[in-house]
Structure 1
Amino acid sequence: MSTQPDLPDSIALFPLPGALLLPRARLPLHIFEPRYLAMLEDCMKTRERLIGLIQPRAVPGGEAARLHAIGCAGRLTAFSETEDGRYMITLTGMSRFRLLSEVEGFAPYRRGQISWDGFERDRGPAERDPGLDRPAFLDLLSRYFTAVDLSTDWSSLKEAEDELLINALSMLCPFPPEERQALLEAPSLQTRRETLVTLMEFALRGRSSATPGERMQ
């Protein structure tokens, strides 16, 4: 049960492989499947306008995908409709949640009974990372971006607040789904930054040990 009266105990679930939403960050999404169009229409009728972004676990045989235990609820903060009935939306991360069980019902999309307990920090002020060595972090980031052929506005990164910097990069970097889940589940901003550093260093070591032909693939 929710410990705060303004947080619902059940929300719509949007299983999206590889997607990552973090508290106070924004994620643009393109909605076009009929079941998720219905989810969006139902979401807009509620006071909270929350959608639970959660990653599915890979399962064989085409059965309904099991879901990870932890996701992040995003508040619908922007949307526009295309001429053919699709939506471009923005979710703003509100808080992580723990999935307790799925709710049976007649909706074409999945819903979950959830708990917000343990994620009170998500609903407070922006976090700081006192252990962040920004020059060393940006140097590693530069080498990683070069290796994976990404570009960015470096002047903006140098001036960004700790949380915006770390969370935006966690969402941007092209890590596999399980590694993105580890970034989501990091208990603090400092832990998330440490996880991010480890993932970038691991990726760089992997690329440096690959043969020239493997790196070109």
Structure 2
Amino acid sequence: MRLSIFPLTGALLYPGLQLPLHIFEPRYRAMVTDALARDRRIGMIQPQRPEDDAPLFTVGCVGKIADVEALEDGRFNLVLEGESRFRLLRELDVITPFRQVEVELLEEPPFQALSPIERAGFEREARRFAEAQGYRVDWEAVTTLDDCSLIDGVSQIAPFDAAAKQALLEAPNLAARCELLVQLMQFFGRRDSDEGRVTLQ
């Protein structure tokens, strides 16, 4: 599969979830215009470094433009809906201002669910992490989410570094992602005693 890509550090997308984007750079405005004229699909993938033409991580997610607002000055507000994770095969030599790649779609394991013990362990660690970081969470709403929406949703918005978020995206199944997410919350969840921030120390 050939994809136009939007390489953006820290912005991950998962199948079944949504990602709002504000598109303002000319090259990515051209990418959106091109996607709208074709199949409305672009690939979200992280660069390994936050610079132009940096090497890419190997796994990303195909997003379909579900909602679009074209602004008068050429910018766009988008909502992408995640369709499928993909593995990068190679970057293509193109004349477009935006990068394009060849990918293979990754098959997701069917009917994924956590065991009651896994779910309870995750929610317990999430409460500790949220309390330590001062986040307000509607825990009643959390209990109504299905396992995929919960684990993938937290993985998508978690305040971890790019490498940690990439490891979550690359996890082979829901149980592995949940286990890694718990480990990362424990690892990143300690407060710096002086500045009150997430720290690796």
Could you say whether these structures have the same fold, taking a TM-score greater than 0.5 normalized by the shorter chain as the test? yes
Query: Aligned-pair distance for 1:75?
Result: 1.0
| Conserved? CA contact 2:155–2:165, under 8 Å | yes
Q: Secondary structure at the match of 2:108?
A: helix
User: Are 1:22 and 2:20 an aligned pair?
Assistant: no
User: Are 1:101 and 2:90 an aligned pair?
Assistant: yes
Rounded to whole Å, the distance in 1 between the matches of 2:23 and 2:127 is: 33
Residue ranges of structure 2 left out of the alignment (5+ in a row) = none
Query: Aligned-pair distance for 1:108?
Result: 0.4
Q: Secondary structure at the match of 2:196?
A: helix
Q: Which residue of 1 aligns with 2:42?
A: 51
Give the letter aligned to residue 99 of structure 1: L
- Post-superposition Cα deviations, 1:133-154, rounded to whole Å, max 9, x if no partner, equal 3333222111211222322322
Q: Secondary structure at the match of 2:90?
A: strand
Of 64, 78, 100, which residue of structure 2 is paired with 1:75? 64
Residue ranges of structure 1 left out of the alignment (5+ in a row) = 1-8
Rounded to whole Å, the distance in 2 between the matches of 1:87 and 1:132 is: 43
Rounded to whole Å, the distance in 2 between the matches of 1:26 and 1:126 is: 20
Query: Aligned-pair distance for 1:215?
Result: 2.5
Q: Secondary structure at the match of 2:87?
A: strand
Rounded to whole Å, the distance in 2 between the matches of 1:88 and 1:216 is: 31
Rounded to whole Å, the distance in 1 between the matches of 2:66 and 2:158 is: 24
| Conserved? CA contact 1:56–1:67, under 8 Å | yes
Q: Secondary structure at the match of 2:91?
A: strand
Equivalent residues in 2 for 1:36-185 (5 A)?
36-47=28-39, 49-58=40-49, 64-116=53-105, 119-121=106-108, 127-130=112-115, 132-185=117-170
Give the letter aligned to residue 181 of structure 1: Q
Rounded to whole Å, the distance in 2 between the matches of 1:103 and 1:27 is: 25
Q: Which residue of 2 aligns with 1:6?
A: none
Give the letter aligned to residue 21 of structure 2: L
Of 188, 194, 197, which residue of structure 2 is paired with 1:213? 194
TM-score by length of 1: 0.84
User: Are 1:203 and 2:194 an aligned pair?
Assistant: no
Higher mean displacement: 77-86 or 165-174: 77-86
Rounded to whole Å, the distance in 1 between the matches of 2:138 and 2:69 is: 27
Structure 1 stretches of at least 4 aligned residues deviating more than 4 Å after TM superposition: none
Q: RMSD between aligned alpha carbons?
A: 2.0
Query: Aligned-pair distance for 1:84?
Result: 2.8
| Conserved? CA contact 2:133–2:197, under 8 Å | no
Query: Aligned-pair distance for 1:202?
Result: 1.0
| Conserved? CA contact 2:14–2:61, under 8 Å | yes
- Post-superposition Cα deviations, 1:81-109, rounded to whole Å, max 9, x if no partner, equal 23433211111111111111111121100
Rounded to whole Å, the distance in 1 between the matches of 2:101 and 2:162 is: 21
| Conserved? CA contact 1:56–1:68, under 8 Å | yes
